[in-house]
Amino acid sequence: MSALRTVLNELVGLFVDDGSLALTLLLWTILMGLAVALFTPAPGVMAALLVVGYLAALLVNVWRAGRP
C-alpha cells in the first residue's frame, strides 16, 4: 500500500508542485470553457483571454513565492 501511495505521489508530483497554481489554472480553464459555451465573441478574443489568464496566474504565483 505504501508503495502504491509513493507511486501515486510521484505521478501527482509530475503535474502539481504548487497546489494554488494548479488550482488557478484549472479554474481558469473551467471558466473559459463556460464562456465559450455561453458566448460567441469575435475570433481570437477567447484565445487571448485564455492566454492572459494563464500568464497572470503564473506571474502572481511567482511574485507571491518570492515574498514568503
Partner 1 sequence: MSWTQTAPTMAAAFLASLVECVEALTIVLAVGTVRGWRSAFAGTGAAAVALLAVVLVLGPTLSRIPVQGLQLVVGLLLLLFGMRWLRKAILRAAGVVALHDEEAVFRSEAANLRLAAVTARHGVDPIATVTAFKAVLLEGVEVVFIVLALGAAPGLLWPAAAGAGAAALLVVLVGLIVHRPLAQVPENTLKFAVGVLIAAFGVFWTGEGLGIAWPGHDLAIPVLAVLLLAAGLAGVRLAAAGRAAAAAGSAAS
Site residues for partner 1, 17-46, by CB under 8 A, read 17-18, 21-22, 25-26, 29, 32-33, 36, 43-44, 46
Q: How far is 49 from 29, CA to CA, in rounded Å? A: 10
Is-contact 18 61, C-beta < 8 A?
yes
- The least CB distance from residue 43 to partner 1, in Å, is 6
Q: Is 68 in the site for partner 1 (CB under 8 A)?
A: yes
Side chain identity, residue 34: L
User: Is the separation of the CB atoms in 65 and 33 below 8 Å?
Assistant: no
> Which residues lie near partner 1 (CB under 8 A)?
10-11, 14-18, 21-22, 25-26, 29, 32-33, 36, 43-44, 46-47, 50-51, 54-55, 58-59, 61-68
